[in-house]
Structure 1
C-alpha cells in the first residue's frame, strides 16, 4: 500500500517495535476519537493510518516540514497489516489512511461493505520477486515453491508479474482478479503458497522465491532495485498508493490540506531523493 537506498537502516529503526503477528498497531488509539472521520475544523488533529515504510516516512516528512505552514495538526498511526487501517477508518477512529492502491480499496469495499473513497494517488511501490536461494529467474527449479500475497488484488497482481516474465500463462482477460485457478500454463510446475502480505519477507527462508509488496520489502531491508529478480513496470501501472477517506468526508478541510501536500513538489522530491527508484512518485506536483 517501496539515501541511496540506505533505506534498510531507516526501515529498521521504524519497525523495531512492530510485532510479528502482522496485525498490531504501533501507535495507540485510546481516548476520544479526536481526528476521526468527520467534517472537523482545520485545526483539529487529523489521525492518519499508515504502513511504516514508506507511507509513515512520507507522512512524517509532511508533518515535520510542511504541515505547520498549512495549519495542519497531523497524528500518524502505524499499522502492520492491510485490514485494520480500513476497518478503523470506516469505524471513525481515523480521519484518513495512506497505505493502499485503488484496486485493493475497491475489493475491500465490495467484500467488507465499507464506504471509503480513494482521493489521490501519491506513489507506486513496484511489486517484486525475491529469493535467498537463486540469483536469476533461470535458477528457479521445477516444482519450486513461490509465496504470493493472499489478498485478492495483490494475488492477481503477483500472478501477472509471473506471467509478464514468462513463468506462467494466465487466462485471457482475467485482469487483477486472477487466482491460481486462472493459470493455464505452468511450465516449471511452480507451487504457489499464498500468505498474508506482511509475512512474505519471512517466508524467504522457507520458499524458493516470494512475490513481495514494495513496502514490506523495504521494511525487511530489501532493496527492490538491487535485490528483486524482477520488478513491476511503472508505466501504465494502476497500483499507485494514495490517500483514502470515509465516503462523505472527502472535503474535510484537514484531509484536503493533507491531499494537497502529498501532491506537492516537496513530497515528490522527498520520494525521489530518499528511495531512488524503489518508490516512484505518482502525483503531479500541485500548482
Structure 2
C-alpha cells in the first residue's frame, strides 16, 4: 500500500489550516477521490453518501473552512507547494520530488482505514487459476519478510504491506462490483 500524504511548506499540522486555504489534489479520477477521502478522514470536509470510488469535488457537502480544493495533474502537486497551504501528493511522486513519504506528510492515509482498501495493490488471478501452484508460490514469496523490507526500503519507508484474508478480499471485490 502506497499512502497519499498531505504535504505543506507552510504548516506542520492540519489544525493550522485557515479559512480559505488552498489545497492541491491530483486530478486523475482514482487519486482525486482518494485525496478527497483523505481530507474527509482528517475531519476537514464531508463527502456525500454517494461519493463512490471516483467522486470529485462536486460531492463535497460540507467544507467548514471553505478550503479551495485545486485539482491538477499529479506531477504538479509537489511543484505548487510554495503557492498553497497543502498539497496531496502520491507516494511515488513525493519520493521523486525528494520527500520522505513516511515522515514528511503532515497527514497521510492509514492502512487501518478500510476506505483505502479499494486502492491497494494486490496479486490476483482468475477464478479458474486460483489453485495454480505458480501463482500460489508468487503470493507466498511476496509475503516473505525480506520482500516487505525491500518494498519499504525502495519507497523510503512510504509503502507497506496490508494483509487481508481471502474472505476480506472477496467481500471487497463484491462491494466494488456493486459500486459501493
Provide the TM-score with structure 1 as the length reference.
Answer: 0.48
Q: How much has 1:225 moved relative to structure 2?
A: 2.6
Gaps of 5+ in 2: 165-180
Are residue 268 (structure 1) and residue 148 (structure 2) matched? yes
**Contact conserved, 2:123 with 2:139, CA < 8 A, in 1?**
no
**CA separation in 2, counterparts of 1:172 and 1:133?**
32
Q: Deviations over 1:162-219 (max 9, x none)?
A: 0111111111242322211111111111111111112211121222211111111111
**CA distance 1:202–1:281, change in 2 (3 Å):** same
Displaced runs of 4 or more, over 6 A: none
**CA separation in 1, counterparts of 2:2 and 2:120?**
7
Gaps of 5+ in 1: 1-123
Provide the TM-score with structure 2 as the length reference.
Answer: 0.73
* Match among 142, 159, 163 for residue 279 of structure 1: 159
Q: Identify the structure with the greater strand proportion.
A: 1
**Contact conserved, 1:129 with 1:211, CA < 8 A, in 2?**
yes
Tell me the equivalent position of 1:203: 80
Structure whose alpha-carbon radius of gyration is higher? 1
- Please tell me the root mean square deviation across aligned C-alpha atoms, in Å: 2.9
* Match among 121, 140, 146 for residue 241 of structure 1: 121
**CA separation in 2, counterparts of 1:138 and 1:203?**
21
Are residue 224 (structure 1) and residue 108 (structure 2) matched? no
**Contact conserved, 2:101 with 2:156, CA < 8 A, in 1?**
no
Tell me the equivalent position of 2:32: 155
Alignment of 1:174-193 (within 5 A): 174-193=51-70
Q: How much has 1:241 moved relative to structure 2?
A: 2.7
